[in-house]
Amino acid sequence: HVSDCGRKPKYSERTHTDTARKCSIQKGSAKVGKTSLIMSLVSEEFPDEVPLRAEEITIPADVTPERVPTHIVDYSEAEQSDEQLYQEISKANVICIVYSVNNKKSIEKVSLVSVVPLILVGNKSDLVEHSSMETILPIMNQYQDIETCVECSAKNLKNISELFYYAQKAVLHPTGPLYCPEEKELKPSCIKALTRIFKISDLDNDGILNDSELNFFQRTCFNTPLAPQALEDVKNVVRRNMMDGVKDNGLTLKGFLFLHTLFIQRGRHETTWTVLRRFGYDDDLELTQEYLFPMIKIPPDCTTELNHNAYLFLQSVFDKHDKDRDCALSPEEVKDLFKVFPYMPWGPDVNNTVCTNEQGWLTYQGYLSQWTLTTYLDVQRSLEYLGYLGYSIIYEQESQAAAITVTRNKRIDLQKKQTQRSVFRCNVLGARGSGKSGFLQAFLGRNLQRQRRIREEHKSFYAISTTYVYGQEKYLLLHEVMPDFDFLTETDLSCDVVCLVYDINNPRSFEYCAKVYKQYFIDSKTPCVVIAAKSDLHEVRQHYSLSPHDFCRKHKLHPPQPFTCSTNEAPSKDIYTRLTTMAMYPHLALSDVRKIKTSHLQCIVHARLRCMCACNRCTYCLCQNLLKLELLRSIKAQLRTVVFNRHMAQADLKNSTFWLRASVGATVFAVLGFAMYRALLKQR
């Protein structure tokens, strides 16, 4: 009995340049020529003397069409037991069952119980003039595991190489997972996989693959474009066989599926398998772990963000599915976007985590914010989602890991007093009912009236949106921490800035904030801000030894910031800009720099930029903002005072001396202004 057997390699090893080891076991009745087939393959001539069993043979990768090493294992009833046979079969990738075409009894003895692909081999075809296919066809139709049947001759070397080529092909490109011979159609799992591939390749989401998209698909899978005539030939084949396979001179999903059915029916399984494996599928038509979760190293105290190319890709995905061009995704458009996913990744809480329009639909900014949040909190899930969308394929990257930027250690940012990060986390702590949820929702532009429409089960403990700090767009992520003072986790304490929220109308609300600060943040380098929530209500005295203002003064914190979301319009976002600024420049609010005068510190941290053209990015705006900074105004006033005092005290000085000194003062002022302007540009 000749059998081909071997260890099943990983998906990442299963390619045409594969170095993984494949094996084949040959099995069959005695005297059918199993060993002769192996020896004829190796020596390329018929052996004069044939042993009972051939030794295990390895065919190198460079002499096989599929570039895969192949182990060939022989079996002999005379030397081996059934138990040994079963052990070899359990390690096999494919089994070649050999029978003699001139011996009907050897055909009847063929046993076909297997969980791996089978190849039927009719040997000794040189001894008969007729074919055994009529006898074999009923057996092939009965058992789905049979990949093909090959008639050969070990004596005159007919189809010997083809036999082992088909054995390799049965392993690398099996028919079973793709096609149902009885129904003569693709299996549901294959249709599902090919449908996802079609939707990813349909870059404009119009339901057809135009010539440009077909060429992109061809280059992606086979590294070569199709000539214009070849494209027309493909579409003509579909037109002749299907009424709705071609539309507007493009290939529809039905036409795409028909082409792959045709490839399989004509024995070109490798074409479909090449496509499937390029898009991340394994032999069971499941996306592999290597494809969905590529390796990415994240050192301690570092965060993960999407890079520029990732945002461009996500923008193209948004534009692809925003069919009505209203810069928002309706529920139907969101479902269409996630059709390439095996499940719905976003629940109703997402609409309360990011910005939406008046209808509650995800805006473009909200869509990008949700991706930013996912990447920051769970980068593995973000990699998985990008894999479903085909990022590495569309952008021709090795993996989705190319879409991720790992930021440097936060301690280095503190030492250098600057950061290149784009996402900053603010943990919001406070007693129950203090207004934390309202503070989060106000960041998304929702006043108290809109917040009351949110269902309890759809509430979110996160809110993320963009703010502008000195002309730079940054993401601020707010996280509402559950008010359990005794069980604050490391995640609850790990952030860039802390918000301590208390209700000015509740006399026991501030006590929680004071205890949390003294327990966890008094010696921390994390900036803290106290928020006096519900400032539209009557302020009552807090039942604590110190008033909130005295507490902040004692611990050198900024005074409590009044806040309310009970407004007719969207709540003010000034406080969120301040929080982002403090997260970006924590050294300006830490104890080691509290020697700076309070007025100057407030000028720097709380400077509110006023922009003439409202873009906050151009050079004109930066210059205007520079001239209007309170710190610059104070320096200017001090210079004027110095000049004026000197003039009054020394009125007897000659006019020339006075104007000389005034000129020196003006020069100093100009130098300082120019230096600050350069500093702002450097921060950009």
User: What is the full DSSP assignment across 1-35?
Assistant: -EEE--PPPPGGG-STT--S-EEEEEEESTTSSHH
Q: Is 274 domain-assigned?
A: yes
What is the total residue count of the chain? 684
Q: Alpha-carbon distance 542 to 510, whole Å? A: 6
> Average pLDDT of 372-397?
96
Residue pair 106/29 in contact (Cβ under 8 Å)? The answer is: yes
DSSP letter string, 355-422 = -B-TTSPEEHHHHHHHHHHHHHH-HHHHHHHHHHHTHHHHTT-SSGGGGEEEPPPHHHHHHHT----S
> Average pLDDT of 6-34?
50
Which CATH number fits the domain that encloses residue 311? 1.10.238.10
- Is the pLDDT reported for residue 664 higher than 90? no
What phi and psi, each to the nearest 5 degrees, are found at residue 275?
-65, -50
Q: What is the pLDDT at residue 77?
A: 79
Q: What is the pLDDT at residue 625?
A: 53
Residues 165 and 269 placed together within one structural domain of the fold: no
Q: Is 140 domain-assigned?
A: yes
- Is the pLDDT reported for residue 51 higher than 60? yes
Percentage above 90 pLDDT, the chain:
48
Burial readout 638-652 (b: 16 or more C-beta within 10 A, e: otherwise):
ebeeebeeeeeeeee
Q: What is the pLDDT at residue 258?
A: 95
Residues 321 and 373 placed together within one structural domain of the fold: yes
Work out whether strand 22-28 and strand 2-4 pair parallel, antiparallel, or are unpaired: antiparallel
> Average pLDDT of 385-396?
96
Q: Alpha-carbon distance 180 to 395, whole Å? A: 34
The answer, as to whether pTM is greater than 0.85, is no
Paired with 298 in beta bridges are none
Residue where one domain finishes, among candidates 252, 286, 320: 286
Q: What is the pLDDT at residue 210?
A: 95
Q: Is 539 domain-assigned?
A: yes
Helices 211-222 + 188-201 axis angle, to 10: 120
Half-sphere exposure of 444 (CA within 13 A, CB side): 33
**Pair of tokens at residue 459:** 């509430």
**Pair of tokens at residue 267:** 């024995």
Q: What is the pLDDT at residue 99?
A: 87
Q: What is the pLDDT at residue 586?
A: 85
Q: What is the pLDDT at residue 559?
A: 94
Give SS3 for 473: strand
Spell out the residues 6+ positions from residue 637 whose beta carbon is closer than 8 angstroms to its own: none
Max mean pLDDT among 96-100, 186-190, 602-606 falls in 186-190
Residue pair 153/100 in contact (Cβ under 8 Å)? The answer is: no
DSSP structural state of residue 181? T
pLDDT confidence of 174, banded at 50, 70, 90? confident
- Give me the amino acid identity at 608: R
More confident residue, 638 or 16: 638
**Pair of tokens at residue 463:** 């809110």
Helix H or strand E segment including 668: helix 655-683
- Is the pLDDT reported for residue 595 higher than 50? no
Residues 586 and 440 placed together within one structural domain of the fold: yes
Residues 435 and 581 placed together within one structural domain of the fold: yes
Q: Alpha-carbon distance 421 to 443, whole Å? A: 20
Q: What is the pLDDT at residue 603?
A: 43
Q: What is the domain count for the chain?
A: 5
Residues 369 and 387 placed together within one structural domain of the fold: yes
Q: Alpha-carbon distance 448 to 438, whole Å? A: 7
* pLDDT tens readout for residues 610-662: 333 444 445 445 555 555 554 455 555 555 555 445 444 444 444 556 666 77
Least confident span in 108-112, 190-194, 653-657: 653-657
Residues 296 and 282 placed together within one structural domain of the fold: no
* pLDDT tens readout for residues 353-371: 999 999 999 999 999 999 9
* pLDDT tens readout for residues 232-265: 999 999 999 998 999 999 999 999 999 999 999 8
Mean pLDDT of the chain: 83
Residues 69 and 194 placed together within one structural domain of the fold: no
pLDDT confidence of 600, banded at 50, 70, 90? very low
Q: What is the pLDDT at residue 427?
A: 95
Q: Alpha-carbon distance 608 to 469, whole Å? A: 9
Helix H or strand E segment including 199: helix 188-201
Block residue for tokens 């119980």: 113
> Average pLDDT of 213-233?
92
Q: Is 15 domain-assigned?
A: no
- Is the pLDDT reported for residue 576 higher than 90? yes
Residue pair 558/530 in contact (Cβ under 8 Å)? The answer is: yes
Least confident span in 207-221, 341-355, 443-457: 443-457
Residue where one domain finishes, among candidates 577, 592, 607: 592
**Pair of tokens at residue 153:** 């001759």
> Average pLDDT of 9-13?
34
Paired with 151 in beta bridges are 122
Spell out the residues 6+ positions from residue 174 whose beta carbon is closer than 8 angstroms to its own: 117, 147, 269, 283
Residues 119 and 192 placed together within one structural domain of the fold: no
Residues 563 and 469 placed together within one structural domain of the fold: yes
Instruction: Please return the burial class of 423, using the count of CB atoms within 10 Å of its CB with bins 0-12, 13-18 and 19+.
Output: buried
pLDDT confidence of 439, banded at 50, 70, 90? very high
Residue pair 25/73 in contact (Cβ under 8 Å)? The answer is: yes
Residues 554 and 451 placed together within one structural domain of the fold: yes
Q: Is 11 domain-assigned?
A: no
Spell out the residues 6+ positions from residue 68 whose beta carbon is closer than 8 angstroms to its own: 16, 18, 20, 22, 61, 168, 172
Q: Alpha-carbon distance 669 to 412, whole Å? A: 33
Least confident span in 118-122, 157-161, 162-166, 665-669: 665-669
Q: Is 8 domain-assigned?
A: no
Q: Is 281 domain-assigned?
A: yes
- Is the pLDDT reported for residue 437 higher than 80? yes
Spell out the residues 6+ positions from residue 268 whose beta carbon is closer than 8 angstroms to its own: none
Q: Is 625 domain-assigned?
A: yes
Q: Which domain holds residue 578?
A: 423-592
Which CATH number fits the domain that encloses residue 514? 3.40.50.300
Residue where one domain finishes, among candidates 239, 261, 286: 286
Q: What is the pLDDT at residue 53?
A: 84
Residues 276 and 307 placed together within one structural domain of the fold: no
Helix H or strand E segment including 583: helix 574-584
More confident residue, 667 or 196: 196
Residues 321 and 379 placed together within one structural domain of the fold: yes
Q: Which of 128, 153, 147, 131 has the alpha carbon at shortest distance from 37? A: 153
